[in-house]
Amino acid sequence: MKKQPTKAPAASQNHRLFEVACVAFALLIAGVTVAQLFYLDEMMNRQHLALFAAKAVVLCMIVCAVFSLPYVLRLKTHKMIGVVSFGCALAMPAFWLAFSVMTIGAGDIGLFGKAFAADWVSFGVTAVAVAAMAFVVKYRGGVSAINGKKS
C-alpha cells in the first residue's frame, strides 16, 4: 500500500506574523509587569486598593502575567506547566480589566503603576491584551496544542 504524501506547512507570512505578534505580546506583558513591580508597594497601599480582594487582584495580575509567558512564547515545558500557563494567559487580561476598573478616578496610579496613570491607557492596554490573546489562541490553539496536537 502506497503512502499518501502529506503537505508540510510552508513557511508563510502568516507564520511570521504570528511569531512577531507573540513576541510583541510577550514584550507588552513584560513591560506592564516590570512597571507594576516597580510600584507594587505604592499600589498595595493605595486608598482605592485597601480591600483584601483588591490586593489579591494585584498579586494575581502579576503572577498570571509571569506564568503566561511560556504559553505566549511557545516554550517547551511539561504538559501540566503548559496547561497552567494557558490558564494564566487567559486570566491575565481579565485581571488587567478588573484592576483598570478598580483604579478609575485614582488619577495617579494605573496599569503601569505611576508611569502612565491615565485611565484610557489602562483600558487601551487591556483591549490590546484581549485582542492579542485571542489572536494567539486562534493561531496557536488551546490546551490540545500544548499536548502536541493542533486544535
Tens of pLDDT, residue by residue over 1-18, are 666 655 545 444 577 788
Q: Write down the pTM of the prediction.
A: 0.72
Largest Cα span, the chain: 73
pLDDT at 73 over 60: yes
Distance from C-alpha of 53 to C-alpha of 99, rounded to nearest angstrom: 11
Distance from C-alpha of 20 to C-alpha of 87, rounded to nearest angstrom: 22
Query: Which tens digits make up the pLDDT trace of 39-69?
Result: 777 767 765 566 777 778 788 888 998 999 9
Q: Is 113 helix (H, G, I), strand (E, B) or coil?
A: strand
Task: Write down the pLDDT at residue 151.
Answer: 42
Distance from C-alpha of 89 to C-alpha of 67, rounded to nearest angstrom: 8
Pick from 20, 28, 22: nearest CA to 128: 28
Distance from C-alpha of 86 to C-alpha of 47, rounded to nearest angstrom: 33
